[in-house]
Amino acid sequence: MRRPIIAMNFKNYINTESETTTLFKQMKQELTSLGNLDDMDVYLFPSMGSLHVARDIFEGSSISYGSQNIAPEKNGAFTGEYSIESLIDIGGDVVEIGHYERITLFNESRELINKKIKLTLENELTPLICVGSEETILEGNAFKEYMQDQLKSYFKGIIINETDNIVLAYEPAWAIGKKEAAPVEIVHNNHRLIREVLSELMGEQVAQSIHLIYGGSVSKENAGALVASKEVDGLFIGRFGHDPKNFREISKEIIMKKRSE
Ligand code: PGA
């Protein structure tokens, strides 16, 4: 059984120690008020300069945190990058890889993304890999072909076991930073197609062990409908979840929908 996931990307929206401390305390409180969270994974990706705040507030709790990017190797001459050694040292256990903004603003190649996935798995951390970040709306066979190509290069030379904890976030570029999320029907169908491609590439058992979540303009209004499919294991939230009350509402939707499946 795959565990439901709520993940949140803070990008560079909330950057100071004081803002982050206040927000993270509120978020922890809101989540705690929902009761037993043992059956859901919570992955938060603070602005990179605030990872120490996440450690101070979430260490020892069931809330996991991680970095929005990682250097492709453990250590060495990678000026300006963030090392997985630092992340492990600060208690992080999840790494966001290949976000649309990393690809478009910082020119990340598929080869580089492949190295980051490899490194993360070798260090027994969870990679949260953004996929499907196409500018145009792709569906059906066109989407499947795109995913075959992308996943083949992302997982090149990597042997995946069903015990590896891997999360794929389907994040269509055309739905990131918008007023509305992608239409529910496209999200559900494309998740099913991603699982089909995974099964072709890795076998059915491994494919079934990989978590698939949706990201792109998720809000408390659309969360319930987006996760109302067995193919959607959770949500990856940006702007509309930064308010702790909204974060609570979205978490509640995920918990309720997944419990009733
Ligand atoms: P958004 O961000 O919800 O603000 O669109 C999502 C993301 O980029 O992961």
Query: Mind listing the pLDDT tens digit for each residue in 15-32?
Result: 999 999 999 999 999 999
Is 28's C-beta closer than 6 angstroms to any atom of ligand 1?
A: no
Q: Is the pLDDT of residue 118 over 80?
A: yes
Q: What is the pTM of this model?
A: 0.97
Q: Please tell me which residue in 30, 96, 101, 171 is annotated as part of the active site.
A: 171
Q: Would you call 135 a catalytic residue per the annotation?
A: no
| Angle separating helix axes 140-154 and 184-202, nearest 10 degrees | 50
Domain that holds residue 52: 5-259
Is 215's C-beta closer than 6 angstroms to any atom of ligand 1?
A: yes
Phi, psi of 60 (to 5 degrees): 85, -5
Count how many residues are written for the chain. Answer: 261
Is 213's C-beta closer than 6 angstroms to any atom of ligand 1?
A: no
Ligand 1 centroid distance, CA of 100 (Å): 10
Average pLDDT over residues 48-54: 97
What's the structural domain count of the chain? 1
Average pLDDT over residues 86-110: 97
Is 236's C-beta closer than 6 angstroms to any atom of ligand 1?
A: yes
State the average pLDDT for the chain. Answer: 96
Q: Please tell me which residue in 30, 96, 99, 211 is annotated as part of the active site.
A: 99
Is the Cβ–Cβ distance between 166 and 211 less than 8 Å?
yes
pLDDT band per the 50, 70, 90 thresholds, residue 120: very high
| Per-residue pLDDT reduced to its tens digit, 219-259 | 999 999 999 999 999 999 999 999 999 999 999 999 999 98
Which atom belonging to ligand 1 lies closest to the Cα atom of 176? 5
Ligand 1 centroid distance, CA of 99 (Å): 10
Burial class (CB in 10 A: 0-12, 13-18, 19+), 26: middle
Is the Cβ–Cβ distance between 54 and 44 less than 8 Å?
yes
**Token pair 């709306």: residue:** 137
Q: Would you call 99 a catalytic residue per the annotation?
A: yes
User: Cα(224)–Cα(209) distance, rounded to whole angstroms?
Assistant: 23
> Which CATH number goes with the domain that contains 177?
3.20.20.70
User: Cα(216)–Cα(148) distance, rounded to whole angstroms?
Assistant: 21
Is 217's C-beta closer than 6 angstroms to any atom of ligand 1?
A: yes
Is the Cβ–Cβ distance between 253 and 223 less than 8 Å?
yes
The number of angstroms, rounded, from the C-alpha of 219 to the middle of its chain's C-alpha atoms is 16
Cα-based distances in Å from 162 to 140, 187, 199, 200, 234: 27, 24, 12, 15, 19
User: Cα(19)–Cα(128) distance, rounded to whole angstroms?
Assistant: 25
Ligand 1 pocket: which of 45, 218, 221 to mutate (most atoms <8 Å of CB)?
218
Is 176's C-beta closer than 6 angstroms to any atom of ligand 1?
A: yes
